[in-house]
């Protein structure tokens, strides 16, 4: 074997770009359809074309990459389809910002020129995030990369719209929608974030026309009073039974309106009387429909009051109007009282602007007929959510679903394929341009100016990316895909929509399993955001620590569905693990220069049998955890095996044999075991840390083209050896006991200790005698093994483990007087701190005023100091003979 070529320290920057280019250029990410192989397919949740990699992307794509690399190594025909989303609102905003710098708006240059500029922007900046995903190590098939507005996906969108329309599931109507004044478009219900905000509850008198008094209404939005058309009470509310049907005079405006009875009203909220504003509240809209009430729009799409609001208020911002109308109500004697009131306020999830409920004519999808099969699929287990608790969340939303508003007042996106005849009013739905009206023959047909909601196209992602509506080989082979990996925050936005779309157009669920992960929070458990300034750029982390360290940190300690806190200490720990693996591998490679991998090993030692058996257990546990999507647990198993068992124990146990101290045959056997275990371990670790494992693996004997194509290790039953594990654990426990004594008693590392080992049981004593060399080498001790001791040695530290007693005489090993003086000084310091802490905890003033967490810290400190004091006293007792 040629001389190993690993530098003395691991530098991710020298490795990662090199191997990614090698993988991509050689087509290792690109599978061909092969009916002889079992397919495995994941479609990437498409990041916005405007975006750049953030920690949420890093986690999501790391999990997908782990699953894809693992299944690929298992022999599956593994395809991971990448792509990006056109992100209608966000992308249009970016280009409009550029135009604004030139003093222009989209209306100045027109729709066609504006869209040309958006495509130019997309070509210039849209590939930024895919380049960053490469830096992360994502093993996507970039040859199959898709975009939600590429030719194939656009054809799929048109096909779905037309089919849904033909089935009577798409309709156009006036309805209350969520309007974002900043983004200047409607957004769907699930794109509204309801955040608790401090506000006021205004109690307003609405006088009766006949002068018999008034009814009091409580509202949080007095500016919408201008659009009121009725006051509603509950039909069972005895306070208002006699008032139903009477006529009120709307304050400020003077409009006459009725008192109506409707079960929508909650008698326990406010005064039990509710103002009805059908044009500016979704619930009021439904009440208005039931009672055939008029719809008065008083707020425009810019969030300002319109002409219907009256001369006093038109042109005012909605919040300026609120202040003015409150002053006017008070001045005119209509405002009874104002209360502080915290309530949920809808915000646009993209720009955080307060949503304005707006009556407008929009396109909708009827959801009940589509939701029912999707609900049934989850109930029957054809779609499984991992963790299972998310099934209830999914079902709750689907069972209470409202019709989906799919039209957006934008120019960038899939334009709604509907034309309106300007002469006869005919509505024509068509894939291509309409030249003449199908009803009257008129050539005056204009296309709907709106575009479809971005989620409309991404709902088709699992099958549109595979070629639908064409019946492609990819579609036939890879659909349904194998699993959907996504964050808990877009179950409603995306997952549910993919499920009902797959059932509606492919007659099959798009994936049998949905693997839900949590969000990446900052160290304090807060969402990462620009406003808080607590975001961490994954690319900066890759530059400083390497992609492997970032990936390993994100997956370790991560449980399905739960949020993850980002700690730089954990990131440093992942980098230390990479360095540990690197240094151990360098040692192994230095001892393989004369190794012939084709040779046969000799008789295995106990240490060989133990590590081979432990390696089988690592294979079984890691594979089992991957199968159940416990990726963090799989990473933990590999970490513990590599760091603790392979590096800290086996390498040390194998050194004498590798150095040739026990003969050539032993050296060859040790080389065989250490190289085969390292190679297999690298293959197990590869999905988690692809770059460092490839770099090391390429230097091992018997390597192939790439570790990516290595077979996933499988358990070899003949190497599972419980007896070797049990025996080795006993020897390790004895070793640890001696090491612990050395550490506790401050024995210099270079001093060899005498260790008296009392083993009354014959089998145990024989085992220790046969393998004494292991203990002596690892504990820097000279063993004396005996059945019993005539008496307890003076000044000897003592430990008991597994029925064995260990004595380490200290006389002559350390300076007893000097060590005694040191411990007495340390004890005095600890006792002083302990007295101070106990004093605090007995002080009722401190206990009464200090925060609970401060008190708990002091209690923990007391416990720690008490334990430390006890341990020092025990050591002193050994040194002084209990005096």
CA distance 345 to 199: 10
- Residue range 285-298: mean pLDDT, rounded: 91
Residue 301 marked as a ligand binder = no
Mean pLDDT of 323-332: 94
Strand partners, 203: 218, 337
User: What number is the average pLDDT over the span 453-470?
Assistant: 96
Tell me the sheet residues that pair with 385.
514
Tokens of 237: 């509310």
State the span(s) of the chain assigned CATH 3.90.740.10.
185-357
- Please state the rounded mean pLDDT for residues 104-117: 93
Q: How far apart are CA 65 and CA 19, in angstroms?
A: 15
CA distance 59 to 631: 12
- The CATH number, out of the four listed (3.40.50.300, 3.90.740.10, 3.40.50.1860, 3.30.70.920), of the domain defined by the range 185-357: 3.90.740.10
With 60 as the cut, is the pLDDT of residue 804 above it?
Answer: yes
Q: Mind listing the pLDDT tens digit for each residue in 69-110?
A: 999 999 999 999 999 999 888 898 889 889 989 999 898 999
Helix, strand and coil in the chain, % to nearest 5: 45, 20, 35
Q: CA-to-CA distance for 508 and 532, rounded, in angstroms?
A: 43
How far is the C-alpha of 789 from the C-alpha of 781, rounded, in Å?
Answer: 18
Strands (E), 117-229: 146-147, 170-180, 185-187, 192-207, 214-219
What is the longest distance spanned by two Cα atoms in the chain? Answer: 116
Residue 309 has pLDDT above 80, yes or no: yes
> Hey, what are 482's tokens?
């194998």
Highest mean pLDDT among 191-195, 268-272, 590-594, 797-801: 590-594
> What's the pLDDT tens digit per position in 141-185?
999 999 999 999 999 999 999 999 999 999 999 888 888 888 888
343 contacts: CB under 8 Å, gap ≥ 6 = 196, 197, 199, 220
Cα Rg for the chain, rounded, in angstroms? 36
Q: Which two tokens stand for residue 393?
A: 């969340």
Residues of the chain with CATH 1.10.287.380: 817-880
**Distance, CA of 155 to CA of 170 (rounded, Å):** 18
Which residue carries 């006890």 as its tokens?
A: 870
- The bridge status of strand 418-421 relative to strand 445-447 is antiparallel
pLDDT at 842 over 90: no
Q: How confident is the model at residue 819 (pLDDT cuts 50, 70, 90)?
A: low
Q: What is the pLDDT of residue 4?
A: 59
Q: What are the backbone dihedrals phi and psi of residue 533, each rounded to the nearest 5 degrees, phi first?
A: 65, 25
Backbone angles phi, psi at 346, to 5 degrees: -75, 130
pLDDT score recorded for residue 271? 87
> What class does CATH assign to 725-814?
alpha beta
Written in H, E and C, the secondary structure of 395-411 is HHHHHCCCCEECEECCC
When pLDDT is averaged across residues 494-522 and rounded to a whole number, the result is: 94
Q: E-strand spans in 571-678?
A: none
- Residue owning tokens 């023959």: 441
pLDDT tens, 641-687? 999 999 999 999 999 999 988 888 999 999 999 999 999 999 999 99
CA 501, CA 126: separation in Å to the nearest integer? 27
Q: What is the pLDDT of residues 38-76, one digit of tens each?
A: 999 999 999 999 888 889 899 999 999 999 999 999 999
Q: What pLDDT score does 415 carry?
A: 97
Average confidence (pLDDT) over 461-470: 98
CATH number of 538-720: 3.55.50.30, 2.30.33.40, 3.30.413.10, 1.10.730.10? 1.10.730.10
- Band of the pLDDT at 186, cuts 50, 70, 90? confident
| Cross-sheet strand order for the sheet of 418-421 | 427-429, 418-421, 445-447
Q: State which of 298-302, 366-370, 406-410, 870-874 shows the largest mean pLDDT.
A: 366-370
Q: Which residues pair with 415 in a beta bridge?
A: 451
Integer angstrom CA distances of residue 414 from 171, 339, 661: 17, 47, 74
**Model confidence pLDDT, tens digit, residues 395-422:** 999 999 989 989 988 999 999 999 999 9
Q: Percentage of the chain with pLDDT > 70? A: 98
Q: Would you say the pTM of this structure is higher than 0.85? A: no
**CATH H-level superfamily of 817-880:** Valyl-tRNA synthetase, C-terminal domain (1.10.287.380)
Indicate whether 269 pLDDT > 50: yes
CA–CA distance, 479 with 497 (Å, rounded to integer): 17
Distance separating alpha carbons of residues 219 and 269, to the nearest angstrom = 11
Query: Which of 97-106, 123-132, 527-536 has the weakest average pLDDT?
Result: 527-536
Structure confidence at residue 563 as a pLDDT band (50, 70, 90): confident
Residue-level pLDDT at 297: 92
One-character DSSP codes across 781-840: EEEEEES--SSPPTTEEEEEETTEEEEEE-BTTB-HHHHHHHHHHHHHHHHHHHHHHHHH
Handedness of CA 151, 157, 163, 166 (dihedral sign): negative
pLDDT given at position 813: 78
- pLDDT surpasses 80 at 765: yes
Peptide bond into 695 cis (omega under 30): no
- Residue with more model confidence, 423 or 803: 423
Residue 463, token pair as written in the block:
């099958």
Take residue 316 and report the two structure tokens written for it: 């005012």
Q: Are strands 356-365 and 170-180 parallel, antiparallel or unpaired?
A: antiparallel
Report residue 2's pLDDT band, with 50, 70 and 90 as the boundaries: very low
Residues above pLDDT 90, as percent of the chain: 67
Q: What is the pLDDT of residues 437-450, one digit of tens each?
A: 999 999 999 999 99
Joined together, the tokens standing for residue 173 give 């109507």
CA torsion, ordered 451, 469, 41, 89, to nearest 10 deg = 0
**Average pLDDT over the chain, rounded to an integer:** 91
> Per-residue confidence at 1, pLDDT binned at 50, 70, 90?
very low
What is the H or E stretch that residue 387 is in? none
Segment 2-26 mean pLDDT: 89
Weakest mean pLDDT among 7-21, 680-694, 857-871: 857-871
775 has a pLDDT exceeding 80: yes
Q: pLDDT, tens digit, for every residue of 715-760?
A: 999 999 999 999 999 999 999 989 988 888 888 888 888 888 889 8
118 SS3 class: helix
What distance in Å separates the CA atoms of residue 599 and residue 597, rounded to the nearest whole number? 5
């Amino acid at each position: 074997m040629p001389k190993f070529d690993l530098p003395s320290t691991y530098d991710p920057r020298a490795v990662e770009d090199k191997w990614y280019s090698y993988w991509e250029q050689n087509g290792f990410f690109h599978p061909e359809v092969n009916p002889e192989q079992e397919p495995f397919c994941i479609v990437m949740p498409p990041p916005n074309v405007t975006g750049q990699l953030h920690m949420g992307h890093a986690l999501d794509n790391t999990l997908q990459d782990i699953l894809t690399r693992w299944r690929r190594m298992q022999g599956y025909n593994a395809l991971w389809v990448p792509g990006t989303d056109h992100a209608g609102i966000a992308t249009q905003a970016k280009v409009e910002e550029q135009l604004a710098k030139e003093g222009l708006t989209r209306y100045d240059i027109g729709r066609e020129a504006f869209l040309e500029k958006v495509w130019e922007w997309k070509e210039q900046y849209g590939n930024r995030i895919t380049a960053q995903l490469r830096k992360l190590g994502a093993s996507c098939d970039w040859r199959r990369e898709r975009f939600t507005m590429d030719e194939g996906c656009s054809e799929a969108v048109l096909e779905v719209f037309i089919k849904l329309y033909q089935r009577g599931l798409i309709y156009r109507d006036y309805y209350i929608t969520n309007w974002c004044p900043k983004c200047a478009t409607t957004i769907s219900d699930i794109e509204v974030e309801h955040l608790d905000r401090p506000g006021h509850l205004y109690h307003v008198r609405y006088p009766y026309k006949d002068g018999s008094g008034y009814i009091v209404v409580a509202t949080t939005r007095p500016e919408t009073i201008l659009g009121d058309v009725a006051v509603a009470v509950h039909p069972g509310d005895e306070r208002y039974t006699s008032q139903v049907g009477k006529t009120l005079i709307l304050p400020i405006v003077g409009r006459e309106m009725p008192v109506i009875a409707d079960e929508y009203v909650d008698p326990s909220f406010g005064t039990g009387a509710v103002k009805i504003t059908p044009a500016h509240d979704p619930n009021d809209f439904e009440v208005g429909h039931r009672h055939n009430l008029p719809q008065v729009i008083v707020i425009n799409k810019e969030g300002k009051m319109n002409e219907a609001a009256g001369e006093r208020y038109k042109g005012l911002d909605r919040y300026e109007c609120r202040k003015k109308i409150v002053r006017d109500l008070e001045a005119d004697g209509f405002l009874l009282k104002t209360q502080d009131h915290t309530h949920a306020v809808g915000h646009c999830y993209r720009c955080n602007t307060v949503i304005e409920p707006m009556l407008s004519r929009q396109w909708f999808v009827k959801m009940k007929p589509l939701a029912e099969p999707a609900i049934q699929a989850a109930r029957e287990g054809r779609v499984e959510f991992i963790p299972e608790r998310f099934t209830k969340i999914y079902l709750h939303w689907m069972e209470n679903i409202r019709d989906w508003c799919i039209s957006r007042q934008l120019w960038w996106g899939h334009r709604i394929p509907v034309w309106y005849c300007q002469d006869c009013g005919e509505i024509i739905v068509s894939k291509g341009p309409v030249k003449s009206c199908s009803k009257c023959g008129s050539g005056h047909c204009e296309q709907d100016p709106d575009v479809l909601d971005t989620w409309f196209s991404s709902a088709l992602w699992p099958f549109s990316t595979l070629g639908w509506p064409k019946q492609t080989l990819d579609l036939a082979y890879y659909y349904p895909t194998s699993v959907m990996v996504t964050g808990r925050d877009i179950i409603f936005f995306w997952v549910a929509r993919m499920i009902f779309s797959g059932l509606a157009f492919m007659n099959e669920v798009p994936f049998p399993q949905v693997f839900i992960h949590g969000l990446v929070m900052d160290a304090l458990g807060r969402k990462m955001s620009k406003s808080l300034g607590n975001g961490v750029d994954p690319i900066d982390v890759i530059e400083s620590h390497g992609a492997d360290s970032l990936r390993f940190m994100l997956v370790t300690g991560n449980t399905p569905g739960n949020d993850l806190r980002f700690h730089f200490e954990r990131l440093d720990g992942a980098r230390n693990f990479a360095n540990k693996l690197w240094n151990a591998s360098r040692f192994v490679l230095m001892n393989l220069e004369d190794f012939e991998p084709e040779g046969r090993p000799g008789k295995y030692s106990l240490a060989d049998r133990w590590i081979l058996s432990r390696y089988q257990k690592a294979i079984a546990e890691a594979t089992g955890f991957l199968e159940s999507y416990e990726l963090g647990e799989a990473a933990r198993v590999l970490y513990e095996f590599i760091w603790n068992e392979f590096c800290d124990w086996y390498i040390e146990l194998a050194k004498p044999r590798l150095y040739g101290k026990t003969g050539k045959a032993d050296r060859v056997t040790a080389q065989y075991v250490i190289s085969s275990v390292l190679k297999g371990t690298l293959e197990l670790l590869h999905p988690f840390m692809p770059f460092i494992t490839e770099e090391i693996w390429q230097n091992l004997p018997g390597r192939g083209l790439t570790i990516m194509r290595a077979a996933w290790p499988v358990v070899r039953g003949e190497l599972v050896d419980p007896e070797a594990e049990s025996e080795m654990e006993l020897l390790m426990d004895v070793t640890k006991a001696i090491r612990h004594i050395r550490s506790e008693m401050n024995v210099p590392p270079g001093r060899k200790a005498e260790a008296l080992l009392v083993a009354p049981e014959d089998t145990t004593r024989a085992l220790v005698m046969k393998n004494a060399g292991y203990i002596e080498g690892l504990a820097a001790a000279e063993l004396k093994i005996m059945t019993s001791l005539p008496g307890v040695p003076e000044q000897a530290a003592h430990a008991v483990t597994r029925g064995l007693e260990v004595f380490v005489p200290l006389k002559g090993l350390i300076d007893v007087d000097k060590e005694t003086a040191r411990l007495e000084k340390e004890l005095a310091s600890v006792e002083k701190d302990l007295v101070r802490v106990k004093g605090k905890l007995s002080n009722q003033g401190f206990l009464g005023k200090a925060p609970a967490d401060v008190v708990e810290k002091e209690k923990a400190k007391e416990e720690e100091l008490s334990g430390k004091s006890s341990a020092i006293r025990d050591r002193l007792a050994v040194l002084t003979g209990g005096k």
